[in-house]
Amino acid sequence: MTAQLPLTLRWPRRQRFEHFHAGANAAAVAAVRELATKSGAPWLYLSGPSGSGKSHLLLAACQSASEAGRTVQYLPLKTLKDHASVIRGVAGSEFLALDDLDALAGQPDAEHALFDLYNRARAEGTALLFGAEVVPAQLSLTLPDLRSRLGACTQFALKPLDDAERREVLKQQAALRGIELDDAVLDWLFARYVRDLGALLDLLDRLDQASLAAQRRITVPFLRTFLREQP
């Protein structure tokens, strides 16, 4: 069924390159774009803390590779079970993105499965893109050869946007919706809400709908009431 879905539904709408705010990560974004669309581009390993945009870039790459006519798979290892079986079941992809490698560290069967997949992908010409919170040398792997293989990838350490950059992104996205977010609203929001950009943009979507329904501007009292009423 998944293979029959239109591209616009197969990958999350916001997880596209055009919605990624690069900040200091412009070189990483350019390398991921190249890997997604050009045969023979270097394999990549992206590391960074939660909120740095790893999953966003992996999903954007999958969408871009799919649009380029390549067969694609995305494995969010943190949300999957039986990692060894899942990894051994991968076949037939021209572009493969493996997210949350941290989740399989310390599982010998899963590590051996990934080692075999790495070698098979190299032989078959499959493009690989990895995402993890830490660099390969810091993964708690039991298989040294796997650490060596991952370390051979071109590596980028993603840097989260700082507060000033997040504020600017929110203002820009709000303006596209015809919403004016003043500094008082942003000050209140950043003091009391998570600062992950994806969560903030999701909140902006909900605020847009709620303000339209209530025919009210987004002010601090409106924001306070809205968040208090959320389940």
The answer to whether residues 120 and 210 belong to one domain is no
Q: What pLDDT does residue 84 have?
A: 95
Residues 6+ apart with CB under 8 A from 1: none
Interval 155-196: pLDDT, tens: 999 998 888 888 988 898 899 888 889 999 999 998 888 777
Q: What is the pLDDT of residue 64?
A: 94
Same domain flag for 79 and 121: yes
pLDDT at 5: 36
Q: pLDDT tens digit string along 185-205?
A: 999 998 888 777 778 888 898
Do 184 and 139 belong together in one domain? no
Regarding whether 108 and 148 lie in a shared domain, the answer is yes
Per the structure block, which two tokens stand in for 91? 């076949």
CA dihedral (205, 206, 209, 211) in degrees, to 10, reads -110
Domain end call among 157, 186, 218: 157
pLDDT of residue 10: 58
- State how far the Cα of 60 lies from the Cα of 188, in Å rounded to an integer: 31
Give pLDDT, residue 199.
81
In the predicted model, residues of the chain with pLDDT beneath 50 are: 1-9
Q: At what angle do helices 183-192 and 163-176 cross, to 10 degrees?
A: 120
Same structural domain, 82 and 174: no
Give strand pairing partners of 157. 47
What pLDDT shows up at residue 172?
Answer: 87
Of 129, 157, 185, the domain-final residue: 157
Question: Same domain for 137 and 221?
Answer: no
Task: Please indicate, yes or no, whether residues 115 and 25 belong to a single structural domain of this protein.
Answer: yes
pTM over 0.75: yes
Q: Which two tokens stand for residue 189?
A: 């929001």
Q: How many independent structural domains does the chain possess?
A: 2
Res 12: pLDDT:
59
| Full residue range of the structural domain in which residue 176 is found | 163-228
CA distance 115 to 134: 18
- Specify whether 21 is located in the same domain as 113: yes
Question: Could you say which of 109, 124, 157 is where a domain stops?
Answer: 157
